[in-house]
Copies of this chain bind each other. A is one copy, B any other.
Amino acid sequence: MSSLEKRQATDLPRYAKIRQMNRGSYDRDLVNEILDAGLLAHCAFIHEQRPMVIPMAYARSGNKIYIHGASKTRIIKENADGVPASLTVTLVDGIVAARSAFHHSMNYRCAIVHGTARLVEDHAEQIEALKAITDHLMPGRWDECRDMTAIEHKATGVLALEIEHASSKVRTGGPVDDEEDLGTDLWAGVIPVVTSLGPPFAAADVPDETPIPASVPAAQRKFA
């Protein structure tokens, strides 16, 4: 038996003062907050009458979401021409253990965006999009790097998804058990899920005297 198993509920912090929330919302500020806090988006497309979903780097810029890939990949080519697309960004916050299996749940924040994808053909907008995607994960990284070459631009396909419909779904707080289950001696509560960035690893070919650039701690602060 681990030391945790020997502990009792009295040793643990409580959810008593934490507000319960379990609802969908169309509040755009909340949607944007979730979109801006995610590491990656799950993008859904229709391919040969089948739904498909793949994880992609992304960034929000105003009312647009930018995603990118190699110019020649299926996802870029098939979605270049104004087709419906959607993407979801999910932040997982906890496993909610109730007395009954039925009331088990998860705490999470999720933003769901629907729109129409189009290929970004304007050079200035492509730069804006790639800067946004790079800086989304590592704020300030774009300006630390050299300019992209013409060949790199040509090899990169950027899709813009104009947000036509956006919603969020958020669950917070502890389990919600049925009254008749409260008398049992089964523990219930929340196990937090924590995502954070660890100390960086330098690439093998980085010279010893190379300083860590500001974008690294900026990323660690952003995703702390």
Binding site for B on A (CB under 8 A): 2, 4-10, 12-16, 39-40, 42-46, 49-55, 57, 84-88, 90, 92, 95, 97, 99-102, 104, 106, 108, 110, 112, 114, 130-131, 134, 137-138, 141-142, 144-146, 148-149, 152, 155-156, 174-175, 177, 181-182, 184-217, 219-220, 223
Q: How far is the CA of A188 from the CA of B144 in the complex (A)?
A: 11
How many chain copies?
Answer: 2
Q: Pick the contact of A130 from B43, B101, B155, B175 — CB < 8 Å?
A: B101
Most chain B beta carbons < 10 A, residue from A2, A196, A202: A202
B106 lies within 8 A of A15 (CB): no
B191 lies within 8 A of A213 (CB): no
B49 lies within 8 A of A141 (CB): no
Q: How far is the CA of A175 from the CA of B206 in the complex (A)?
A: 11
Q: Which residues of chain B have C-beta atoms less than 8 A from A110's C-beta?
A: 54-55
A136, chain B: closest CB distance, angstroms? 10
Q: How far is the CA of A191 from the CA of B211 in the complex (A)?
A: 15
A15 lies within 8 A of B100 (CB): no
Q: How far is the CA of A149 from the CA of B148 in the complex (A)?
A: 61
Q: Which residues of chain B have C-beta atoms less than 8 A from A87's C-beta?
A: 53
A86 lies within 8 A of B50 (CB): yes
**A–B pairs, 8, beta carbons within 8 Å:** A5-B214, A46-B46, A50-B86, A53-B87, A185-B207, A187-B202, A187-B206, A191-B220
Q: How far is the CA of A53 from the CA of B88 in the complex (A)?
A: 6
Q: How far is the CA of A141 from the CA of B101 in the complex (A)?
A: 8
The residue in chain B whose Cβ has the minimal distance to the Cβ of A175 is B203
Can you list the 8 inter-chain pairs with the closest CB atoms, starting with the nearest?
Answer: A10-B208, A16-B204, A44-B51, A44-B53, A42-B42, A192-B198, A9-B210, A9-B202
Q: How far is the CA of A178 from the CA of B37 in the complex (A)?
A: 30
